[in-house]
Structure 1
């Protein structure tokens, strides 16, 4: 067309941009954009939104925002597209800020806006944002239809408020398979395995056909509750009654289940019999189980397979180091560390976050940078003394240094989660729950310590680690010490 000296019009450019979006081809999309600029054409609101959508869906947040800022006209679709782009790529805070800016400029958020923002609600401040959006939905008079209800269930479950997720689920006038699946997955993440299975059975009674994702949730619930026989039953019914062919995620749940239960040989055999090639996540589940049960030989095999698939995964090296350290194999620990240095691989430091009065406070192990450090450490030492009076003995197996027991105990007592919890205790009203977030899996000693702390201070402590939620209350945890 161009070789015939014919200039494309708005419709043709929009068609090309939509095709680039479908193909996820940003480079071709940029070529079309360049043609629009060279032609001197001023995009109307429809073409502008199509261009915005192309960038938002092909992965360039910077280009999306640049186009958004230059749009001569904006409508609700423009704002929604920008918010969806931010949400999709993990920029929750920016999406929430844009939500407020949208209203300040006189645009009324619709249901698409609200569901997009809810999907962006992740991280320490997510629950606050999610509650704000929920309030807006109610004040705006929007019906909590299936789409909005599903987004609210997912948001509340991911943000640690399982009770609110259950309330939304219970009042929904209509539910689809996504509603049921979100509730099952949410319950499983919070350690309520048996409750998740009850919801699944209720789903069956009501005639809703489960899909492959539903069974991932069901098998995950079995894994976190140690329900081995039940998991085999659900795995079989998925294949034979529901006609769903298992994929890597389903096998991963089964390997995780068997590994947690100490059936390491059975888990290894299952991996070898899988009709699909095991990915790094599956081998990683087996490696984690080897750490729990102290199986060095199988851990080395699992780590080798993990690193063949993802050679730069620092978590594998760290897990293997922990297994060697727990076994007192300090020469092997040094060897792993040297390998990491040679390959330029750095361990991700453990961090904890807590939000107090709309401000995020971040801690690392033995952190002394906080303005209230002296008060935090004094309170933590006091708590540690009370814990010891009640029979607490530090589990120092995960300390990664070959030092005497006193130094090992001191190192573990100042882990990031304890510092965050204590800051929450001294900074919030007595009796209020404390919510903390950790980027890695909580260690066994901190898990034990947090249970005891919850009993001493008579507060619920909700901890979100890399894998799941733990609800500590009155000296026990929702996971039943099985995580």
Structure 2
């Protein structure tokens, strides 16, 4: 069946986000010869239009490598490129983390399309996404009238790569700030573990409300980022701020989405607010897998391991499919409750029943499960059977088990391995010293601490918090 060029183009545009249809139409275009130019002076821009639409379509269905392959076909077949070609290509390169980016930029420069603000903004985004902030800044500074979108692209690059000093200075200089600008700053401070500044930026955003003629309101991503900051604040401060933000959401939003609900559950689970976490979970209209994972983690970390496992059973009855994070939460609950047999059954069912391939975290959970219950040698043997080399987290779980049960010789062996992996970490020295001390081997205990001191390591000072209850 033959299609006219116009009908094929209409089909492409209609099914631009449908994977199967896009591939079928692509095949028809190849078969009909629409992606080649028999006469270099005829139908050139029609062919370019086909390629541009295909490029955008494959980017929409999350196949950036195919997008880039189409671009190379355009170059090899001398298909004319235009200003509509490069934004999608730059996004595909950013999604694929392609470096270096200079050849793409050179192609755009060669064809004189960099004057187009959309093209220039797409290259700012590409450079910022791949960590070339110097080039991104230079491109931005060359723009005669940079828009908020191009400003956000550069700002997001600063935040993503942790240059929050430059990010905040640039943010302050922006004449217009939208919700994406504020969210980038909040998220950037969270990544740098500057949680108080993340919360402060959110509060400033809410109080300001307007940027020029633009009304600025937090979106789902903003709430998730700031609630993460609250969850990681020490003491009661995070809980107080989190409750305030929760109140703001209830007052100003139509409802609590699954992702915001997950962030709230995580917050309350980490700040002694388990009752609130349960209430949020119970009221969620759409319980995505992430929300189930969060409530299981909250229950397990607050001493409610069996309740967490009950939630896991309810999740399966409700036909929710567990993922990698689910099994970390469930295996951690089994480890805390020392339910060795059940934990091993669940671990062995991951691949066979649920199609989830166990990763390093899952193996670490099993080592913790066996180690806590006193099966230290079995945990060591389990590590030997792993399909990959154990990382520091897995060995750390084994070393913790050695300390807990006073297994000195194996503890020394594991500590030496950890030292080779992480020579700058003082934790293994502290644990090893504790193992020796509990066996009253004071000479070796002192020696371990002296090694740490001689290397210039310092144990972080301990602190305590007091949760004050105010009574009327």
TM-score by length of 2: 0.72
Between 340-349 and 171-180, report the one with greater CA deviation. 340-349
Partner of 2:449: 337
Once the two structures are superposed, the pairs formed by residues 349-368 of structure 1 within 5 Å of their partners are 349-354=461-466, 356=468
CA distance in 1, matches of 2:191, 2:452: 33
Partner of 2:376: 264
Query: Which of 345, 357, 371 is residue 245 of structure 1 equivalent to?
Result: 357
The answer on whether the counterparts of 2:140 and 2:150 sit within 8 Å (CA) in structure 1 is no
The answer on whether the counterparts of 1:290 and 1:299 sit within 8 Å (CA) in structure 2 is yes
CA distance in 2, matches of 1:20, 1:9: 17
Q: Unpaired runs of 5+ in structure 2?
A: 1-105, 210-215
Query: Which of 23, 36, 60 is residue 140 of structure 2 equivalent to?
Result: 36
CA distance in 2, matches of 1:179, 1:429: 32
Partner of 1:112: 221
The answer on whether the counterparts of 1:247 and 1:276 sit within 8 Å (CA) in structure 2 is no
Could you give the per-residue CA deviations for residues 309-338 of structure 1, whole angstroms, max 9, x where no partner exists?
A: 111210110111111111111111221122
More helix by share: 2
CA distance in 2, matches of 1:338, 1:149: 48
Could you give the per-residue CA deviations for residues 184-217 of structure 1, whole angstroms, max 9, x where no partner exists?
A: 1111111211111100000000000000110011
Partner of 1:327: 439
Partner of 2:166: 63
Q: Measured at CA, do residues 94 and 329 of structure 1 come closer, stay the same or move farther in structure 2, by a change above 3 Å? A: same
Let me know the Cα RMSD of the aligned residues: 2.0
Q: SS of the counterpart of 2:464? A: strand
The answer on whether the counterparts of 1:169 and 1:179 sit within 8 Å (CA) in structure 2 is yes
Partner of 1:17: 124
Could you give the per-residue CA deviations for residues 37-85 of structure 1, whole angstroms, max 9, x where no partner exists?
A: 2x36342212111211121222221121111011011222222222122
CA distance in 2, matches of 1:32, 1:96: 28
The answer on whether the counterparts of 2:268 and 2:277 sit within 8 Å (CA) in structure 1 is yes
CA distance in 2, matches of 1:40, 1:175: 45
CA distance in 2, matches of 1:315, 1:43: 49
CA distance in 2, matches of 1:333, 1:269: 27
1:316 and 2:425 equivalent? no
CA distance in 2, matches of 1:218, 1:211: 11
Q: Measured at CA, do residues 316 and 6 of structure 1 come closer, stay the same or move farther in structure 2, by a change above 3 Å? A: same
Q: Measured at CA, do residues 57 and 327 of structure 1 come closer, stay the same or move farther in structure 2, by a change above 3 Å? A: same
More strand by share: 1
The answer on whether the counterparts of 1:219 and 1:231 sit within 8 Å (CA) in structure 2 is yes
The answer on whether the counterparts of 1:216 and 1:249 sit within 8 Å (CA) in structure 2 is yes
TM-score by length of 1: 0.70
Q: SS of the counterpart of 2:350? A: helix
CA distance in 2, matches of 1:18, 1:108: 24
> Between Structure 1 and Structure 2, whose CA radius of gyration is higher?
2
Q: SS of the counterpart of 1:350? A: coil
Q: Measured at CA, do residues 76 and 321 of structure 1 come closer, stay the same or move farther in structure 2, by a change above 3 Å? A: same
- 1:88 positional shift: 2.9
Partner of 1:173: 285
Once the two structures are superposed, the pairs formed by residues 284-323 of structure 1 within 5 Å of their partners are 284-323=396-435
- 1:112 positional shift: 3.1
Could you give the per-residue CA deviations for residues 10-63 of structure 1, whole angstroms, max 9, x where no partner exists?
A: 22232112223443x1xx1222212332x3634221211121112122222112
CA distance in 2, matches of 1:265, 1:80: 48
The answer on whether the counterparts of 2:289 and 2:322 sit within 8 Å (CA) in structure 1 is yes
Give the length in aligned residue pairs: 356
Partner of 1:208: 320
- 1:255 positional shift: 0.6
CA distance in 2, matches of 1:316, 1:159: 28
The answer on whether the counterparts of 1:14 and 1:51 sit within 8 Å (CA) in structure 2 is no
- 1:156 positional shift: 1.1
The answer on whether the counterparts of 1:17 and 1:54 sit within 8 Å (CA) in structure 2 is no
Q: SS of the counterpart of 1:353? A: coil
- 1:3 positional shift: 7.5
